[in-house]
Chain A
Amino acid sequence: MNHEITLTVNGEVYRLTVASHWTLLRVIRERLALTGTKNGCEAGECGACTVLMNHQPVNSCMVLAPEADGAEIITVEGLAEDRRLDPIQEAFIETGAIQCGFCTPGALVTARALLDRNPNPTQAEIREALVGNLCRCTGYLRMVKAIQAAALRAGEANRFEKAAR
């Protein structure tokens, strides 16, 4: 059976006809060709396909596309604005938190969601937030440092803005 759905992905509205069994991951990758979101297990276990759905991080392989009807989706491609990288993206590059890069999009999206709800996470909170994003290259410590650095930078930027006002 097919379903008519509407998705807002990275600010763009899409009206799509999708089969009942198609996942949000498959729609994002195969219909919208937004291939930054990766397919690592299709079982909700590795986090490579993490996207923000209505501001919450989800494994897009575990969401059926019809369930996402009306949702606002942010993928890794939606983190940067006007080619200006999100501070988390900057920090991942600067800190050496990227190796093969396959888990990176999902980890970045998870980190964005974490900082949105908790701008000053402790190291333990960062590790807890990343627990669903498997990485085989980095050993995670650089990712944790990158997220701490991004949080610090955002905090400084906020203070600067407040002082300027």
Chain B
Amino acid sequence: MTTPPKKLSIVGTSPRRIEGREKATGAATYVDDLQFGPNLLCGKIKHSPLAHARIVQIDTGKARELPGVRVVITGRDFPGYTGLYLKDRRLFALDRVRYVGDAVAAVAADTEEIAERALDLIDVAYEELPAVFDPELGTHADAPLIHPDLGTYECVPFIWPQAGTNISNWFKLRKGDMGQGWAEADLILEHTYRLPQVQHVPMETHVCAAQQDVRGKITLWSSSQSPFAQRNLVAMALGISHSQIRVITPHVGGGFGSKAGLSIEGACVGLALAARGRPVKLRLSREEEFYCAFTRQALVARVKMGMTREGRLTAMHNTFYWDGGAYTEYGVNITRAAGYSGTGPYYVPNVHVDSYCVYCNHPVTGPMRGFGMAEMHWAIEQHINRMAEQLGLDPVEVRLKNCLKDGDETCSGMKMHPTGLSQCIEKAAAAIGWGQPGAPPSAPHKVRGKGVAAMWKAPAMPPNPGSSAHVHLNEDGTVAVSIGAVDLGQGALTVMAQLAAEGLGVRFEDVHVNLVDTDYSPYEWQTVASRITWSVGNAVLKAAQGAREQILRTAAEAWGEDPGDLDIIDGNVVSYKTEESIPVAKMAVYGMQRPDGTWVGGPIAAEGHFMPDYVTPLDDETGQGERAVVHFTTGAQAVEVEVDTETGQVQVLKLVSAYDVGRAINPDMVRTQIEGGAVQGMSTALLENILFDERGVPQNASFTDYRIATAVDAPCETENIIVEVPQDDGPFGARGIGEHPLVPTAPAIAHAVRNAAGVWLDSLPLTSERIWAALQAQGQA
């Protein structure tokens, strides 16, 4: 990406969130705040109570007769398949249900109370089938098949479903000579790590509304990370044209991946199609949110590594069994990402990785902040800490020795770009006081320890996800930027305004960024993969530079000068040569007069787009290829914890994060992303786990039973360190940071718990009960 060769005035500064005032006054509008009037229907979904069953019959007669019920729909109404990477999912279950929570029918009624009564009146007869709840067992030849038609599902070319099994994707990585790798090792260690399903827990549950107009066009108001992908997936599921669907996304109350792709929105559109023009709103309750929207995949990871006594990694053989849940249309790509990233951020000459996406009769898994990396690093990073300990080596030194450096070959055969990973490890270790004694514990029965972990993560996406942007100027010289990306709180609106202001030469305060309406906003693939600052940023910068060129050409012609002698500074066009100057506001729409009295210019409007065109396919047997991904963001975390040996409770005293973001467009917002993500990582590490009974029924779908970190649980202190090794294809060198902050948190905390209390826990969460039990067992040993 070309970068204007001038001193930056806005990029690298930290203006406050541009929608801050709206959000601080309650004025910011979210989907549930939109006013549809008394005509609005309330939608509700009927969920399966069984984890795996054949649907024998659905009787909706009594529900339809209930006064006030306007629409009842079932799977028979929408038999088409949909899905982002693998089309394995329908809007409603048709012939079988595959998890507790699977949608079997939906109603729309005049009031919420009537809708709830109608759900009770829908009679579904099931014939229960044997279920699969463990991904490793799910791969066995005699496991019950959850998708007998897997072999007939359409999928993208980089996903490899195994027909006749529960494996919806098998990604293989093969590199080097394993025999040689083991022979060179002084220590070979194998261990299995586990991690449960967790939920994203956006504070705003999934909510959408839909309405069909007299021309048949559908408008969907959706709390979504993916307005365009939703338009695409709904069009696909219903077999209608994209131009017949309009998706509007106002402010979004958090997503963390759960609002990417499609969840309940198809059902809402389905209801609206039969609602005779009345709007229908569908909002998940908090209970539904815990298991009827996406969850994060559970993982069983068998890790085997070889290391020399000096701490050099010689070989890695990792097998990942992912619990993909009932449908893996999106989840298959998580298992692919874990495959091509399957060694963690290290140079390993000999590699054997198998990453299996396995159907289980659990909630649908999908993208969650980290996209497989938090899960995979839980195993890899902990294993490296164990091996360092067994060899008597410093885990920080081991990481510095093995971590990828500029030009090293990654596990998928890609040449590593310049990266600040070593710096991140060094800075995180220094900030936690690695190797130095900490303060004494706060009580005699408490112990303290420090831990460390590193990470890498690439934007996981198809090779060609596109972004586009429009920039136009208003009569007053202010700038309107339109993008198709969504601000979920990460700060996209602010960062895009900074990039536009910098690219154009206007003040940050004079830039407005529009929220998404697919009828007016330019195309965007999805707000996922920590790719917005990078990808949309490139598009916005191009559009801003296009607008800048239009302005400079106009002024140059009016003044009879060379555009190269002109500049735009704080919203004024200036000539370095003649010292002429004009506020952009005076020429942005009406143009300028030439000396002869004629006019030049006109409304300033420009577009920009970006799509990476350099990602190569990977070999389906070895996973090797020239460029698996666009780039990797790398980083490290170091923590100090205090463990109460009487209760097993862990208090995180200090959580240090250091990430190489290429270039921080808004450093303070980068730090808020890092801090918030790290606390979410801490929360999943210490507290979170969707509990199921033996029949797959979720047991803790409320905030009382599924605890997330509160203000009291948050670390006493954080330190958020920004490292900047520029990315050659990013705007001003920027790369993403949205997801990375929670990736190494759990293994770093587990390491600190080990160093404090002497116990290793190989599965999450590290609850006080489990730590206490481990301490008891250790005491008895």
Set B21, B35, B671, B672: member contacting A99, Cβ < 8 A? B672
Contact with B along A3-20 (1 / 0, CB 8 A): 000000000000000000
Q: Which residues of B contact A134 (CB under 8 A)?
A: 203, 703, 708, 710
Q: Which residues of B contact A141 (CB under 8 A)?
A: 675, 679, 714-715, 718
Contact A41:B490 (CB < 8 A) given known A102-B30, A141-B714, A142-B675: no
B293 shortest CB reach to chain A, Å: 14
In the complex, the answer to whether B718 meets A139 with C-beta atoms within 8 Å is: yes
Q: Which residues of B contact A77 (CB under 8 A)?
A: 25-27
In the complex, A80→B25 CA distance in Å? 7
In the complex, the answer to whether B711 meets A104 with C-beta atoms within 8 Å is: no
Set B204, B704, B710: member contacting A140, Cβ < 8 A? B710
Q: What is the number of residues of chain B that contact chain A, defined by CB distance less than 8 Å?
A: 56
Contact A131:B711 (CB < 8 A) given known A43-B286, A100-B252: yes
In the complex, the answer to whether B254 meets A41 with C-beta atoms within 8 Å is: no
Please report which residues of chain B, range 1-26, place their CB below 8 angstroms from some CB of chain A when the two chains form the complex.
16-17, 19-26
Q: Which residues of A contact B709 (CB under 8 A)?
A: 139-140
In the complex, the answer to whether B24 meets A92 with C-beta atoms within 8 Å is: yes
A111 shortest CB reach to chain B, Å: 11
In the complex, A74→B505 CA distance in Å? 43
Contact A98:B17 (CB < 8 A) given known A45-B703, A46-B203: yes
Set B205, B491, B675, B712: member contacting A128, Cβ < 8 A? B712
* Interface hub of B23, B202, B710 (most chain A Cβ within 10 A): B23
Set A42, A48, A128: member contacting B203, Cβ < 8 A? A48
Residue of A nearest to B706 (CB): A45
Contact with A along B101-115 (1 / 0, CB 8 A): 000000000000000
Q: Which residues of B contact A89 (CB under 8 A)?
A: 24-25
Q: Which residues of A contact B24 (CB under 8 A)?
A: 85, 89-90, 92-93, 98, 101, 104, 108
Q: Which residues of B contact A101 (CB under 8 A)?
A: 19, 22-24, 28, 251, 253, 489
Please report which residues of chain A, range 125-156, place their CB below 8 angstroms from some CB of chain B when the two chains form the complex.
126-128, 130-144
A117 shortest CB reach to chain B, Å: 17
B388 on interface, CB distance cutoff 8 Å: no
Contact A96:B672 (CB < 8 A) given known A133-B711, A135-B203, A136-B203: yes
Residue of B nearest to A144 (CB): B711
B637 on interface, CB distance cutoff 8 Å: no
B119 on interface, CB distance cutoff 8 Å: no
Please report which residues of chain B, range 155-205, place their CB below 8 angstroms from some CB of chain A when the two chains form the complex.
200-205
Q: Which residues of A contact B19 (CB under 8 A)?
A: 101
The main secondary structure of chain A at its interface with chain B is loop
* Interface hub of A136, A138, A140 (most chain B Cβ within 10 A): A136
Set B21, B286, B489, B710: member contacting A137, Cβ < 8 A? B489
In the complex, the answer to whether B25 meets A99 with C-beta atoms within 8 Å is: no
In the complex, A127→B203 CA distance in Å? 19
Q: Which residues of B contact A132 (CB under 8 A)?
A: 710
Q: Which residues of A contact B253 (CB under 8 A)?
A: 38, 100-102
Q: Which residues of A contact B680 (CB under 8 A)?
A: 136, 139
In the complex, the answer to whether B32 meets A140 with C-beta atoms within 8 Å is: no
* Interface hub of A38, A48, A94 (most chain B Cβ within 10 A): A38
Set A34, A96, A130: member contacting B17, Cβ < 8 A? A96
Contact A33:B35 (CB < 8 A) given known A93-B24, A139-B675, A139-B680: yes
Contact with A along B567-608 (1 / 0, CB 8 A): 000000000000000000000000000000000000000000
In the complex, the answer to whether A138 meets B676 with C-beta atoms within 8 Å is: yes
A86 shortest CB reach to chain B, Å: 9
Contact A43:B703 (CB < 8 A) given known A101-B489, A137-B676, A139-B680: yes
In the complex, the answer to whether A35 meets B711 with C-beta atoms within 8 Å is: no
A24 on interface, CB distance cutoff 8 Å: no
Q: Which residues of A contact B523 (CB under 8 A)?
A: none
B621 on interface, CB distance cutoff 8 Å: no
A65 on interface, CB distance cutoff 8 Å: no
In the complex, the answer to whether A138 meets B252 with C-beta atoms within 8 Å is: no
B207 shortest CB reach to chain A, Å: 9
B367 shortest CB reach to chain A, Å: 16
The contact sample of 18 A-B pairs, CB cut-off 8 A, is A33-B35, A35-B29, A38-B32, A38-B203, A43-B702, A90-B24, A93-B24, A96-B16, A96-B668, A96-B669, A100-B489, A101-B22, A101-B28, A105-B26, A130-B711, A138-B672, A138-B675, A141-B679
**Closest A-B pairs by Cβ, 8 of them:** A36-B26, A139-B679, A100-B489, A102-B253, A101-B23, A99-B489, A35-B33, A45-B703
